Amino acid sequence: MAFKVIKENVLKDNDRVAKMVREDLKKNKVLMINVIASPGAGKTLFLEKAGMSLKNAGISFEILTGDCFTSRDAERLDAAGLPVVQINTGNACHIDAGLVKKALEEVRLDEKDLIIIENVGNLVCPAEFDVGEDFKVAFLSTTEGHDKPIKYPLLVKISNLAIINKIDLLQYVDFDMSFFEECIHKVNSALQIMKISSKTGDGIDNFVGWIKDKIKMKKENVE
């Protein structure tokens, strides 16, 4: 019982900070999305590709990239000419609202349209923390298997978009796309599913289109 109460308090503190972050973003009309995936699902390559397209589309954004240790992802994104702030969590398995608030102190929000959070590789804990984002994105990959949506349902339940990456490997792995879609919709019946390959670039345009729509809605203050 003690642990449950402690956890509730930790989440309550987090929610208080998340609210502050959300208000700050609202004031500046900046959209924030939180991308959550397993280790090695291909988040960073995806952000390299999507980031280039967003840049070419004239969208002003910042990537907050989370990792326990190392700044390898930030270095990759920086080398690709993309604006990035590294968040190191140490042995913590998720990014919380406090870390996002601190990272945003490095960002001129009044000059941005969009903040993209690349969370720590983990399907469980990051799903529990509101960090002030507008949307959570469940980012999965074909090599992880088609049953992950029902094995890690919280993430699917609270996400506003599901991305299935590595469709270029479909012919080499045992992955049943219909079953995957069925699993997603069993947990979250209305969830939009986007099929992409960060490697080939397939589907990246759909994601950029989705983001542009959401930025427009945020600027127009449509809830």
Select 70 or 192, whichever has its Cβ closest to a copy of itself. Answer: 70
Binding mask 181-220 for a copy of itself (x = CB under 8 A): ----------------------------------------
How far, in Å, CA of 175 to CA of 187, rounded? 19
In the set 23, 40, 79, 81, which binds a copy of itself (CB under 8 A)? Answer: 40
Does 152 contact a copy of itself by CB under 8 A? yes
Residue 32 CA, distance from chain mean position: 9
Smallest separation, CB 155 to a copy of itself (Å): 10
Smallest separation, CB 90 to a copy of itself (Å): 9
In the set 49, 136, 166, 214, which binds a copy of itself (CB under 8 A)? Answer: 166
CA distances for 175 relative to 72, 143, 189, 195, angstroms: 30, 8, 21, 13
Q: Classify burial at 83, counting beta carbons within 10 Å of its beta carbon; exposed 0-12, middle 13-18, buried 19 or more.
A: middle
Question: Which helix (H) or strand (E) element contains residue 15?
Answer: helix 2-27
Select 38 or 188, whichever has its Cβ closest to a copy of itself. Answer: 38
80-119: contacts with a copy of itself (CB under 8 A)? 91-93
How far, in Å, CA of 15 to CA of 5, rounded? 15
In single-letter form, the type of residue at position 100 comes to V
How far, in Å, CA of 186 to CA of 42, rounded? 25
Residues that bind a copy of itself (CB under 8 A): 3, 6, 10, 38-40, 67-70, 72, 91-93, 120-125, 128, 141, 143-145, 147-148, 150-154, 166, 169, 172-173
